[in-house]
Amino acid sequence: MTNFQYVFLLRHEILLTLAAVVILIAELFTADHKKTSVITFSLVVFTIVTLASFIPAAPGTLFGGSFQGDRLTDLMKDILNVAVLIIFFQSGGYLRRSENSEKIGEFFALILLTMVGMDFMISSGDFLTFFIGLETASIPLAGLAAYDRFKSKSAEAGVKLILLSSIASGILLFGLSMIYGASGSIYFADIAQKMTASPLMILGLIFFISGMGFKISLVPFHLWTADVYEGAPINITAYLSVVSKGAAVFIFTIILFTVFKNIIDLWEIALYALAVLTMTIGNLFALRQDNIKRFLAFSSIAQAGFILLGIMGTGSLGMATVVYFMLVYVFTNLGAFGVATAIYNASGVETISGYKGLYATNPKLSLIMMLALFSLAGIPPVAGFFGKFFLFTSAAKHGYFILVLIAVLNATISLYYYLVVVKAMFIDKNENPIAFFKSTKGMRLSLAICALGIFAIGFASGIFDYILNISKLLF
Amino acid sequence: MVDFSYTFLIPLIPLVVFLITGLLGMKWKPMVSGIIGTVGLLIAWLLSLYTGYEYFLAHTVEHYQTIIPINMLWLSFTNSLQIHMGVLIDPISVLMLIVVTTISLMAHMYSLGYMKGETGFARYYAFLSLFTFSMLGLVLSTNIFQMYIFWELVGASSFLLIGFYYTKPSAVAAAKKAFIVTRFADFGFLVGILVLSFLTRTFDFSKLTEPGTTIFASSAGVTFMGVSALSWAMSLIFIGGAGKSAMFPFHIWLPDAMEGPTPVSSLIHAATMVVAGVYLVARLFPIYHFQTPQVLIMIGYVGGFTSLFAAIIAMTQFDIKRVLAYSTLSQIGYMMVGLGVSGFGGDHGLGYMAGMFHLFTHSMFKALLFLGAGSIIHAVHSNEMKDMGGLRKYMPITHITFLTACLAISGVPPFAGFFSKDEILAAALESNKLLYWTEYITAGLTSFYIFRLYFRIFWGKNTDYGHHTPHESPWVMTVPLIFLALGSAFGGWIPFHDFVTPDLAPMVHKMEWLDTIPSVLIGLVGIFAAWYLYKKESSRPKAVVDFLGNLHTWAYHKFYIDEIYLFITRKIMFGMIATGIAWFDRHIVDGFMFGVADVTMALSGKIKKFQSGNLQEYAFVYVAGALALVLTLLYVFVK
């Protein structure tokens, strides 16, 4: 392997780092009254980064096995890049507010730096790289959550996130040290070979699961989610619920499938319990929310419970269903968040009851919201249906029929609260609905992409086949 | 071997036209959609004619081949359960290709004049293209599942076109009726397909209909209620065909379907879609003949009964389109009889050949009758015979072409219907005397009712048309009439036995002219009776009606079949069965669901306090949750 190929394998990480640095420098050299031009600049830079990262590279490992790149990890990173690009397009309206003019560069740079951490985490080949990647991805998030630092809710969100996140990291690290103690190695491949069930290993496994459960918002490790989602700026909430969660889901699945392969029986019991709890509690809380951000927070918790079903299918099918679901979830959830962002930017309305009568004034936005909610609820023929269907198939193939039954019941309950939003927009009467407004170009573009994705991913059966094929190479 | 892979374009062109006119038709002038549709179909028609020439005429062969130029894998469930989409070329599919594109082209062109100025003109053409696409896809299907998909598509486009005047309640009701009745029959078709494919492990026509195939061997002993499973399957499949072809007792939708625009009746409800059932039986003919001959005989009897039954009703109706609708039922019955009495191989295949021949000639003269009726309706603005009379002076072209079609359907030589009908009778005479006599009498009734129609429209007294004198239709409407009149006059001279036979080998067949005398005679008797009663206004028809008494009343009320259906659906199904189910649904099912919802909401309120916003509590729950999991797993591990 030549040096160039080494560098090329790291293309996601290098490009993201460069982009973050370039954006910060560019902001430094921009006159104060023209700071908003940084937004456009960052969009251009990141679009180039996203496109350049699509260039395929040969699989390989670096740094003595600490870093591994293959087609599956590349795909995961590309999915995250696309998600972030959509979020960036949706952020323009928020960042153009006068109070944000002095910290535009930070917004982009911090997000990109967390992305670097996530990409390293996804490609990690040992627990040390994994942990460093995880922390790189976590710490700036607290800063992002507190981005509206003069708003007490946002500041509260930042503090809560950093405190709870450090508890989670501490427990995770404790668990990793136990795994090291039980196996004598930090490398995934070595540990996988020596993996046997022992009380020490079980302790390590559960602490690892709880640490990841924090990032993915699995019940009972989820309690930060609603408060932070509500307090953080809405674009950061979107980022937390899609990208941050997605990266954690990817590496969680990879590590469970590789490192803990020998003790599948044990972790599947844990996931079974977590899946039931997460789906059910997430749904029960979502039923009563009126704040759209809290609503989407609990909805995303419930969705995380469904993802566990895919993981429990194990093997290439399990992996493929999880990746496919995340791909669908990116477009679906960002579609919903995009509409919520557009409405918040234009009118400051953040509540579902405030959405009443929206269809009369803003029919296009209402339709996209409806599409996204249908996809979240899993109504055919939109992509969300296929995503959920495959997850359930994966679990059912492994014989978890009762679990699938519970999931189906939960999906039915979720249908109720998703449709409540649709009903508010389309059916409920309102004396003073949100007035008609025109969203930014970037927002319109991002929503068009989301709507297209929600349809196209479901219909293009080749996508799932592709993901299945590349995960067959590995699992 | 000629490459027929271009044939996939023939259904594709109408599909593209449908998408273009359907999506963009609102943006431009209505006539543009009409012209795009007509030109698109002209291309498809030329391609079909070229295909016919290449397949039948360009190369002399002893034995026609079944060619499958395209067959792509569409759905692959397992290695054994796969569904293909493709194009199948054999004599009957090429025949249908020509029939469908010809009649569709005529209907397209005719509608340019007939539908001019109607609201929804572009929508009309979009639906017409959708129908043509579906019908072509149906006839070209390589497997029974593909056929089923297009089968449903033609049903849907027929629904759309019958209900074209959707502001008219009767049209909406007719569209629903057609859809529900055929859909009901299609359910039989679907179950039949499933049983057949379960028994044979294939959907492909080429495997199913290969003579001497062994795929049925495994199902030989399988029976259900004393009848072999294969017979059940083939009967159920025929029920699907009977629904589309409006065979008794599924015939009730077709007369009501006349609520649609007249060119639609001509295209869908006379020439193409309603013969889909005949085509289906012909397509599966080897199975019917070799595996389930008793079902084939049943098909013959259903056809025979329907043809006589419908002809009797046709004699008593006054709405000219309804007369033609019952006439269509009767003629499709003829085709079914042809297939039902047919054998396989050599001269034994006469009935099959005659059935398909009649399908071809019938499509010409029946489409012509409908288009002629449309031309008349266009001129006098009424469907009722009483509003017509003496029209021959005002509408000479319509008159002559209509007369041609009447002669053709009455079996007067040398018009087209004479040849095909006579061969069906000849085939029936050899194998089933009962069916022969049924069809023989029907032939007389046919020429009677059709000339009753003819004399009442074009002869008789001159109705007072007021200031609005009827006039001949524009050329876009008369050109199709003339074209179809030529087809109805000379179509019978095509040597069909060279082309379409069950075993794909040309048949050595000679028509015995002397044998045709009885059937010509009965036709002439019918014509004479009609002439005697209706050549001018008189009290003679009333005397006959009085003489027949109740018989006429029953026939006029279509033997009360619709009322029987209404009784069964309204009183028994809705009134008795559905009420009970509705109660169960409202109280038990809904009650359970409401209960679940209430419990869920209550639970949601109870657990609310866990989300307190208190950081210490969050941390506590986190650690406690992790420890609970650890304890659970350790317990499992120790056990």
ipTM: 0.89
Q: Which region among A198-212, A452-466, B319-333 has the lowest average model confidence (pLDDT)?
A: A452-466
Å between B568 CA and nearest CA of chain A: 36
Over residues A138-157, mean pLDDT: 90
Residue B462 pLDDT: 66
Sign of the C-alpha dihedral computed for residues B601, B603, B604 and B609 taken in this order: positive
- Greatest Cα-to-Cα distance within chain A, rounded to the nearest angstrom: 68
The answer to whether the Cβ–Cβ distance between A269 and B636 falls below 8 Å is yes
> How many Cβ atoms are within 10 Å of B210's Cβ, its own excluded?
13
Q: Which of B629, B632, B638 to mutate to test the interface with A (most CBs of A within 10 A)?
A: B629
Token pair for B68: 């499958």
3-state helix, strand, coil in chain A (%, to 5): 80, 0, 15
A-B Cβ pairs (cutoff 8 Å, strict): 81
Give yes or no for a contact between B458 and B392, defined as CB atoms under 8 angstroms apart: yes
Å between B65 CA and nearest CA of chain A: 36
- Kindly list the residues from chain A whose CB atom is less than 8 angstroms away from the CB atom of residue B601: 287
Token pair for B459: 């002869």
The answer to whether the Cβ–Cβ distance between B630 and A287 falls below 8 Å is no
Residue whose C-alpha is closest to residue B276's, from B99, B418, B13, B67: B99
Å between A351 CA and nearest CA of chain B: 19
Residue B464 pLDDT: 65
The answer to whether the Cβ–Cβ distance between A207 and B618 falls below 8 Å is no
Q: Report which DSSP code applies to B79.
A: S
Q: Is residue A1 over pLDDT 70?
A: no
Residue-wise pLDDT for B432-443, tens only, equals 889 999 999 999
Residue-wise pLDDT for B337-375, tens only, equals 999 998 887 778 888 999 999 999 999 999 999 999 988
HSE on the CB side for B350, CA within 13 Å? 20
Å between A129 CA and nearest CA of chain B: 24
The answer to whether the Cβ–Cβ distance between A416 and B625 falls below 8 Å is no
CA A344 to chain centre: 21
DSSP assignment of A22-64 equals HHHHHHHTS-GGGTTHHHHHHHHHHHHHHHHHTS----EEEGG
- Integer-rounded Cα radius of gyration of chain B: 29
Q: Is residue B81 over pLDDT 90?
A: no
**Torsions phi, psi of B83, nearest 5?**
-120, 130
- Kindly list the residues from chain B whose CB atom is less than 8 angstroms away from the CB atom of residue A160: 615, 618
**Torsions phi, psi of B204, nearest 5?**
-70, 130
Q: At A381, is the secondary structure helix, strand, or coil? A: coil
Residue A6: band (very low, low, confident or very high) from pLDDT cuts 50, 70, 90: confident
Residue whose C-alpha is closest to residue B108's, from B120, B97, B94, B124: B124
Residue B467: band (very low, low, confident or very high) from pLDDT cuts 50, 70, 90: low
The answer to whether the Cβ–Cβ distance between A285 and B625 falls below 8 Å is no
Which range among A320-329, B208-217, B494-503 has the greatest average pLDDT? A320-329
Q: Is residue B536 over pLDDT 60?
A: yes
Find the CB nearest B619 among A167, A203, A226: A167
Non-local (6+) Cβ contacts of A344 within 8 A are A234, A350
Q: Is residue A147 over pLDDT 60?
A: yes
Residue B463 pLDDT: 65
Neighbouring-strand partners of residue B82: B76
Over residues A205-211, mean pLDDT: 94
- Kindly list the residues from chain A whose CB atom is less than 8 angstroms away from the CB atom of residue B624: 220
**Helix orientation angle between A127-145 and A104-123, rounded to the nearest 10 degrees:** 160
Q: Which of A206, A269, A276, A278 to mutate to test the interface with B (most CBs of B within 10 A)?
A: A206
Three-state SS for B548-616 is HCHHHHHHHCHHHHHHHHHHHHHHHHHHHHHHHHHHHHHHHHHHHHHHHHHHHHHHHHHHHHHCCCCHH
Residue B276 pLDDT: 92
Q: Exposed, middle or buried by CB within 10 Å (0-12, 13-18, 19+), for A418?
A: buried
Residue-wise pLDDT for A83-96, tens only, equals 999 999 999 989 98
The answer to whether the Cβ–Cβ distance between A287 and B600 falls below 8 Å is yes
Find the CB nearest B601 among A197, A226, A287: A287
Q: Report how far apart the first and last C-alpha atoms of chain A are (Å, whole number).
A: 24
Amino acid at B615: L
- Kindly list the residues from chain B whose CB atom is less than 8 angstroms away from the CB atom of residue A226: 611
Å between B599 CA and nearest CA of chain A: 11
Looking only at the bridges linking them, the beta strands covering B67-76 and A67-69 are: unpaired
Find the CB nearest B600 among A199, A223, A284: A284
> How many Cβ atoms are within 10 Å of A141's Cβ, its own excluded?
24
Predicted model pTM = 0.67
Higher pLDDT, A414 or B593: A414
Residue whose C-alpha is closest to residue B253's, from B619, B624, B561: B561
Interface of B with A in 583-622 (CB under 8 A): 597, 600-601, 603-605, 607-608, 610-611, 613, 615, 617-619, 621-622
Q: What angle do CA B264, B269, B272 make, to 5 degrees?
A: 95
Higher pLDDT, B499 or B337: B337
Q: Which residue of A has its CA nearest to B602?
A: A284
Q: Which residue of A has its CA nearest to B608?
A: A285
Å between B598 CA and nearest CA of chain A: 12
The answer to whether the Cβ–Cβ distance between B610 and A284 falls below 8 Å is no
Residue-wise pLDDT for A175-191, tens only, equals 999 999 999 999 999 99
Residue B302: band (very low, low, confident or very high) from pLDDT cuts 50, 70, 90: very high
Cis peptide before B91 (omega within 30 of 0): no
Find the CB nearest A266 among B603, B626, B633: B633
Residues B399-432 as b/e (b if ≥16 CB within 10 A, e otherwise) read bebbbbbbbbbbbbeebbbbbbbbbbbbbbbebb
Which range among A1-15, A117-131, B264-278, B285-299 has the greatest average pLDDT? A117-131
Å between B624 CA and nearest CA of chain A: 9
Q: Which helix (H) or strand (E) holds B134?
A: helix B121-139
DSSP assignment of B231-253 equals HHHHHHHHHHHHHHTT-TTSTTH
Which contacts (CB < 8 Å, 24+ apart) does range A193-202 have?
A: A195/A259, A195/A260, A195/A261, A195/A262, A195/A263, A196/A262, A196/A263, A197/A262, A197/A263, A197/A266, A197/B637, A199/B634, A199/B637, A201/A263, A202/A266, A202/B630, A202/B633, A202/B634, A202/B637
Give yes or no for a contact between A180 and A127, defined as CB atoms under 8 angstroms apart: yes
Token pair for B54: 């290449």
Q: Is residue A152 over pLDDT 60?
A: yes
Residue A308: band (very low, low, confident or very high) from pLDDT cuts 50, 70, 90: very high
Residue-wise pLDDT for B173-217, tens only, equals 999 989 988 988 999 999 999 988 888 888 888 888 887 777 777
Q: Which helix (H) or strand (E) holds B441?
A: helix B433-458
Q: Exposed, middle or buried by CB within 10 Å (0-12, 13-18, 19+), for A47?
A: middle
Give yes or no for a contact between A116 and A17, defined as CB atoms under 8 angstroms apart: yes
Residue B359 pLDDT: 92
Residues A282-300 as b/e (b if ≥16 CB within 10 A, e otherwise) read bbbbbbbbebbbbbbbbbb
Which range among B122-126, B227-231, B535-539 has the greatest average pLDDT? B122-126
- Distance (Å) of CA A63 to CA A6, A7, A15, A127, A187: 10, 12, 19, 14, 12
Å between A358 CA and nearest CA of chain B: 26
Amino acid at B610: F
Q: Which residue of A has its CA nearest to B596?
A: A413
Token pair for B436: 């022969």
Q: At B141, is the secondary structure helix, strand, or coil? A: coil
CA–CA distance, A74 with A65 (Å, rounded to integer) = 17
CA–CA distance, A231 with A157 (Å, rounded to integer) = 5
CA–CA distance, A213 with B605 (Å, rounded to integer) = 25
Residues A85-110 as b/e (b if ≥16 CB within 10 A, e otherwise) read bbbbbbbbbbbeeeebeeebbbbbbb
Residues B511-540 as b/e (b if ≥16 CB within 10 A, e otherwise) read eeeeebeebbebbeebbebbeebbeeeeee
The answer to whether the Cβ–Cβ distance between B637 and A199 falls below 8 Å is yes
Residue B466 pLDDT: 64
Looking only at the bridges linking them, the beta strands covering A60-62 and A67-69 are: antiparallel
CA–CA distance, B220 with B494 (Å, rounded to integer) = 41
Over residues B399-428, mean pLDDT: 89
Q: Which helix (H) or strand (E) holds B72?
A: strand B67-76
Higher pLDDT, B569 or A254: A254
Residue B260: band (very low, low, confident or very high) from pLDDT cuts 50, 70, 90: confident
Q: Which residue of B has its CA nearest to A170?
A: B623
The answer to whether the Cβ–Cβ distance between A202 and B610 falls below 8 Å is no
Residue B472 pLDDT: 81
Residue A36 pLDDT: 87
| Torsion angle (degrees, nearest 10) of CA A106, A112, A118, A123 | -150
The answer to whether the Cβ–Cβ distance between A223 and B618 falls below 8 Å is yes
- Kindly list the residues from chain B whose CB atom is less than 8 angstroms away from the CB atom of residue A210: 622, 625-626, 629
Average pLDDT, chain B: 86
Over residues A41-55, mean pLDDT: 93
Give yes or no for a contact between B534 and B545, defined as CB atoms under 8 angstroms apart: no
HSE on the CB side for B82, CA within 13 Å? 12
